[in-house]
Each structure stands twice: as structure tokens, then as C-alpha cells.
Structure 1
Amino acid sequence: MTVSLSGVHVLVDDPDAALVFYRDTLGLTVRNEVAHDGFRWITLVTDSQPEITIVLSQPHAGRSREDGDALAALLAKGELQMIQFRADDLDATFEKVVAAPGAEVLEEPANRPWGARDAAVRDPAGNLVRIDQG
């Protein structure tokens, strides 16, 4: 039996701002976009791992008002799980991220005691995004 990762979901409050960050800044490719009942789901992939999808969706999309409100509150506080990327050139990627509208630098690129070289930012929705050197 083989199990592999097929996708992750990232909640965003503004799909257009998220597209600027994930597509235009990080270079992901939009594979699909679905609009329904005033909400959008945007599926992106990386060139190096096109079989793994990243789905951007809004907190209230496909959820009850109560659940959407709870998720929106966690998103606003930056309390949702992080997403982690690997870049072949961390410094160049970090420079692009720093220039992205709405991105917040948390940690500049540095060598970590556990052996990784990485950086941390918040995307325009407040999600923690770590990028390490591949």
C-alpha cells in the first residue's frame, strides 16, 4: 500500500491578494479556479511537484456561518497551520517575497541550529509561510 500527499488547503480572506503572493511572487501555477455562492477556490501547483495541489479558499466557503466565523477569527490572529516551501535560491526568493504587497517578514534567511537554512514570512492573509533552501 502506498500513500502520498495530494494537496493542502490554505485559508485566505482575499483571494486576489493571495494570488499575487502565491502565483505572482512565489511562481506557482493556477491549475483551476471555481466560483460558487460568492466564494472562490483556487488550485495552484509548483512546476517541480505538479501532482501536489495547494488550494486557496475563504473561511466561509462551503462551511456554516459559525464555522466560517471561527476559522476567520483564527486566520485574523495568524493561528492556522503554516505552509512550508523549498526554494533552490532562498535569498532570491526572499527578496521577491519582501517586495510582495501584504507580506510581513518574521525571520530573514538564516542558518538554523537543526541544519536548515530558512526564512519566515506571513502571507497577505496572515498565514505563516516558511521557505527553506533546497
Structure 2
Amino acid sequence: MKIGLTSVLVDDQERALRFYTEVLGFLAKNDVPMGEHRWITVVSPDEPDGVELVLEPDAHPAARRFKEALVADGIPWTAFTVEDVEAEHARLAAQGVRFTQQPAAMGSVVTAVLDDTCGNLIQILQVSADS
């Protein structure tokens, strides 16, 4: 068994697709109309046949309340690994991405937390070579 798909709940699929591809740098893999919404997945350019991230509509009222509670408490929905948090933070900040946590060393990892513009906090994470 392996993970093939994971999801992030978004309040606007079109805005999410732009942010996750044009800003974060993921590649669009699937974009299929599904009635009112779409089946949209993105992948890492480093692993185009790897795990797909579904940009899932947060249309269910419980989903929106859940997301709002996480954001209010400063809790990221998920984390993406990067080679260099400081460099990625600088690249994204230059594009106007809002960070709720600046890069911070936490033991064997360095993390930062960004606002994905779609109702989520997302952590970027660098694991030290010693780990």
C-alpha cells in the first residue's frame, strides 16, 4: 500500500490552481469538470508520477469551520518539503506570499508557514542532512 493522493481543502479551485502552480511551482496533472466543481490534481515537478495533491472544494460547511479553526489556532493543514527553507521563503515572499511564521529552526528541521490564499496555512519544511 502506498499514498497516491492527498487533499487540501480550498475555497476557490481556480485561485488554488493558479497559486499552487504559478506561485508554489507544482504542475497541473488532472483538471476534470465534475458538475459544479472540478477534479484538480497537482504534482511536484521533481516527481510527476508521484503523489498527487487534490485541490478539493471546501463546499461542505463542516470543512469550512474546520479550516477556520486551524487557521485561527495557527495550525498548518499540511507540509511540503523543500531543500532550503530560507531560499524558498525568500522566493515566495518576493512574489507577495504572506507568511504567518518566518523560517525557524526546530531541532533537526527548519520550518516556515505560509497562507495559500485559499483558506489554509501550509508549512514548508527542510530536514537537516543529519536526520
Relative to the length of structure 1, the TM-score reads 0.78
Q: What is the letter of the counterpart of residue 7 of structure 2?
A: H
For residues 73 and 55 of structure 1, do their structure 2 counterparts lie closer, same or farther at Cα, with a shift above 3 Å needed? same
Q: Is the 8 A contact 1:10 1:56 kept in 2?
A: yes
- Check whether the contact 1:76–1:125 (CA below 8 A) recurs between aligned residues: no
Report the number of matched residues. 123
Shift of 1:125: 1.8
Post-superposition CA distance 1:12-61 (Å, at most 9, x none):
0011221222111111000010122211221100022332000002123x
Task: Confirm or deny that 1:73 pairs with 2:65.
Answer: yes
Could you tell me whether the CA contact under 8 Å between 2:11 and 2:119 is conserved in 1?
no
TM-score by length of 2: 0.80
- Partner of residue 109, structure 1: 103
Of 89, 93, 97, which aligns to 2:92? 97
Unaligned runs of 5+ in 2: none
> What CA distance in whole angstroms lies between the structure 1 residues aligned with 2:25 and 2:5?
17
Note if contact 2:70-2:77 (Cα within 8 Å) is conserved in structure 1. Answer: no
CA distance in 1, matches of 2:65, 2:80: 25
Measure how far apart 1:100 and its partner are: 4.6
Question: 2-side partners of 1:13 and 1:92: how far apart?
Answer: 28
Identity of aligned residues (%): 28
RMSD of the TM alignment (CA)? 2.1
Cα separation, 2, equivalents of 1:16 and 1:104: 19
Compute the displacement of 1:70 (Å).
1.4
Distance 1:99 1:17, change over 3 A: farther
CA distance in 1, matches of 2:18, 2:35: 23
